[in-house]
Amino acid sequence: MAITRRDFLKSVAGGSLLIAAQGLPAEASMPKELPPEAVGILYDATLCIGCKSCMVNCKVFNSVVDGGLYTEGMTSPPYEPFREFEMWDAGTDLTEKTLNVIKVYKSGKGINKDQVEDGYSFIKIHCLHCISPACVSVCPVAALKKDPINGVVYYEENRCIGCRYCQLACPFRIPKYEWSKTSPQVRKCQLCRHRYKEGKYSACCEFCPTGASIFGKVVDLKKEAERRLTLKAQTEYDFPVQTVDSKYRISRPVSQYINHIYGLNEVGGTQYLLLAGVPFHLLGFDKNLTDVHLPDLTWAYISKIPSVIAGILIGGAATWAITKNLTKNKDKDKGV
Ligand code: SF4
Ligand code: SF4
Ligand code: SF4
């Protein structure tokens, strides 16, 4: 059944009313401190072997009910063939089907691990779970939220109106949108929060064979990262595997780190911390990001361009209305 002009206008008005009722995002309520029980991930690029077990298991364990990639009726993880190799699932960047990606830096001959000259390094990219998340601060209907206890930045699909303002606001370009679907959602890492009730944690850490990705409380991850930076290169160290407090440890020589814990201060701090042997701007991170809590900046910007925001919100409401109508009509046609 076709959508009539009257239906369309009614729906847009409904979407706009929803926005009006919720009001614009309240930057003043954004947290500025790490929640005491905040959990996160420490990724140490010097331990990463680029096996992509974290990517595979991220997909598998997020394609179940409540997972970050799950859609009703899903029976297998969303597949991204690499060029003509239809048998491989191999996302090369974050997409609506890939919440976590391993990338590689290479210079010159690319033979020296974790070094700039003639070197290479892996880097693991996913949502950083900012302490003061710009995506949350700009969402007009609170579809993105930050858990006040564990600090995870998560998504409630039923609230989302598809305005995609979170995509524009994120300084790391993390949220992706399901452009090809009639009922699209925003997709991003939710730190595997659906697994916590079973006593489990981030799949990317559980299945990382080297301890390059470890899960834990952010205060402990920070201490672990700081400890590693005090170690002399080539001394032996017992690196924990899976979780920061794990008894399972792998002993190996410490690599030469650059003296920087990425995420400790950037954009006011994040719950994903990173160590590497190569400067982070060479690994794809923006050199010009400030240590300021981004919602302070985004709000200053937003407040100066109300017409743009209104356009985006109304556009989002229209998209939401159209997709809701399409889905409703499809269901009617099927007799659901
Ligand atoms: S990295 Fe981007 S998507 Fe993740 S919490 Fe920060 S602003 Fe939001
Ligand atoms: S925490 Fe979970 S959703 Fe996030 S990258 Fe790791 S496996 Fe994927
Ligand atoms: S599973 Fe661990 S070692 Fe393998 S690519 Fe991911 S972070 Fe690196």
Interatomic CA distance for residues 153 and 128, integer angstroms: 9
Residue nearest to atom 8 of ligand 2 (CA): 58
Q: Which domains does the chain have, with CATH numbers?
A: 37-302 (3.30.70.20)
Residue 91's alpha-carbon distances to 95, 99, 277, in angstroms, are 8, 10, 25
Distance 99 CA to ligand 2 centre (A): 7
The dihedral through the CA atoms of 30, 36, 40, 43 has a sign that is: positive
Per-residue confidence (pLDDT) for residue 311, from 0 to 100 = 56
Ligand 1: does its nearest atom lie under 6 Å from the Cβ of 146? no
The CB density around residue 103, as the number of other CB atoms within 10 Å, is 15
pLDDT in tens, 67-123: 999 999 999 999 888 777 777 888 899 999 999 999 999 999 999 999 999 999 999
Distance 124 CA to ligand 1 centre (A): 15
Interatomic CA distance for residues 102 and 210, integer angstroms: 15
Choosing from 186, 192, 196, 242 the residue with most ligand 2 atoms within 8 A of its CB, the one to mutate for a pocket test is: 192
Residue nearest to atom 5 of ligand 2 (CA): 100
* Nearest atom of ligand 1 to the alpha carbon of 188: 3
Per-residue confidence (pLDDT) for residue 11, from 0 to 100 = 38
Distance 209 CA to ligand 3 centre (A): 7
Per-residue confidence (pLDDT) for residue 308, from 0 to 100 = 52
The dihedral through the CA atoms of 316, 336, 68, 63 has a sign that is: negative
Kindly identify the ligand whose nearest atom is closest to the C-alpha of 41.
2
Residue nearest to atom 2 of ligand 1 (CA): 170
Per-residue confidence (pLDDT) for residue 306, from 0 to 100 = 46
Strands (E), the chain: 39-44, 81-82, 85-89, 101-106, 112-113, 119-125, 144-146, 153-155, 176-177, 186-187, 213-217, 236-240, 249-253, 272-275
Per-residue confidence (pLDDT) for residue 83, from 0 to 100 = 76
Residue 293 forms beta bridges with which residues?
A: none
Residue nearest to atom 6 of ligand 2 (CA): 204
Interatomic CA distance for residues 19 and 41, integer angstroms: 34
* Nearest atom of ligand 3 to the alpha carbon of 211: 2
Distance 203 CA to ligand 2 centre (A): 6
Distance 49 CA to ligand 3 centre (A): 6
Choosing from 54, 99, 202, 239 the residue with most ligand 3 atoms within 8 A of its CB, the one to mutate for a pocket test is: 54
Distance 174 CA to ligand 2 centre (A): 13
Average pLDDT along the chain, 336 residues, taken 10 residues at a time: 37 43 54 92 98 97 96 91 78 95 97 97 98 95 96 96 95 95 94 97 98 98 98 98 98 98 96 98 91 69 50 54 52 46
Using a 6 Å CB cutoff, which residues line ligand 3?
Answer: 48-54, 102, 122, 124, 208, 210, 212-213
Per-residue confidence (pLDDT) for residue 287, from 0 to 100 = 87
For 311, residues 6+ apart whose C-beta sits below 8 A from its C-beta are none
Interatomic CA distance for residues 151 and 116, integer angstroms: 34
Distance 318 CA to ligand 1 centre (A): 25
Could you tell me if 242 and 215 are in contact, meaning their C-beta atoms sit under 8 angstroms apart? Answer: yes
* Nearest atom of ligand 1 to the alpha carbon of 144: 8
Could you tell me if 48 and 277 are in contact, meaning their C-beta atoms sit under 8 angstroms apart? Answer: no
Choosing from 43, 96, 99, 129 the residue with most ligand 1 atoms within 8 A of its CB, the one to mutate for a pocket test is: 129
* Nearest atom of ligand 3 to the alpha carbon of 49: 3
